[in-house]
Chains A and B, each alone.
Chain A
Amino acid sequence: MKLLRMTPGKGDVLLAEGDPAVAEDEERLVEEFRRQLDLGMWAAVPHEGPGGSREATMVRDFSEVPLSAERVIFFPQAAGG
């Protein structure tokens, strides 16, 4: 699983990578996940929907991220423009 963050001037950057089934990796992923939410990021998990359509699910806690997820994408919280 990769944790990616969209950033100005760079595009996405890799924050952390690991296998959430491995305790040491999971700890690192959870720590980075929480850090990003504390910084005000939103987190989305891309996945395939019914019929192969592309979908995304917002997650607010690492426990909501499916173990099979390949990526979690962080981006700044939306504000009224």
Chain B
Amino acid sequence: MRRRYVRNAGRERRAEQRARDLLRSTAGDEALEVYERFGLLSVENAEYGYLIYPHRPLVAYDAASGELLSEYCVRFRDGSDPEAGERLPDADDVLAKWMALRADEHELIGTANVHPLGRQLDPAMVRRDLTALRQWQK
């Protein structure tokens, strides 16, 4: 009989906790705190940045003005264990995007489907998240 995904809340909670531990040890204590407070990570340089949501598009923004620019849709699917599903735990998904952006932004962005703002994420919610994150970072 073909195995298929069956949701298991306990297993997924344990996987998420393990993924948070990996996030902390890889991206640092502050990154984990941002993730736990806001449900996202961010990467920013002098000109622009990205908000990284789990299993949602990256959202690029202008670093100076905070203007939202585009959605970049990427996914990391793993079909090796049908019973566990294809989705990484949320914290692993954001960490995978964070590492790929840090290491090779052009390759990740080149892989993404680019959409205008609002295709998957509510721009008002994203603006609120960015404002709250920046206030907290001050």
Chain A interface (Cβ < 8 Å from any Cβ of B): 4, 6-12, 39, 42, 44, 46, 54-58, 71, 73, 75-81
Which of these binds chain A: B16-24, B62-70, B121-129, B130-138?
A: B16-24
The A-contacting residues of B in range 106-130, CB under 8 angstroms, are 107-108, 111-113
- Closest chain-B Cβ to A15's Cβ sits at a distance in Å of 12
Chain A, interface SS category? strand
Chain B interface (Cβ < 8 Å from any Cβ of A): 8, 11-12, 14-19, 21-22, 26-28, 31, 57, 73-78, 80-81, 83-89, 92, 95-96, 98-100, 102-104, 107-108, 111-113
Chain B residue at minimum C-beta to C-beta distance from A46: B26
Chain B residue at minimum C-beta to C-beta distance from A75: B96
- On whether the beta carbons of A9 and B15 are closer than 8 Å, the reply is yes
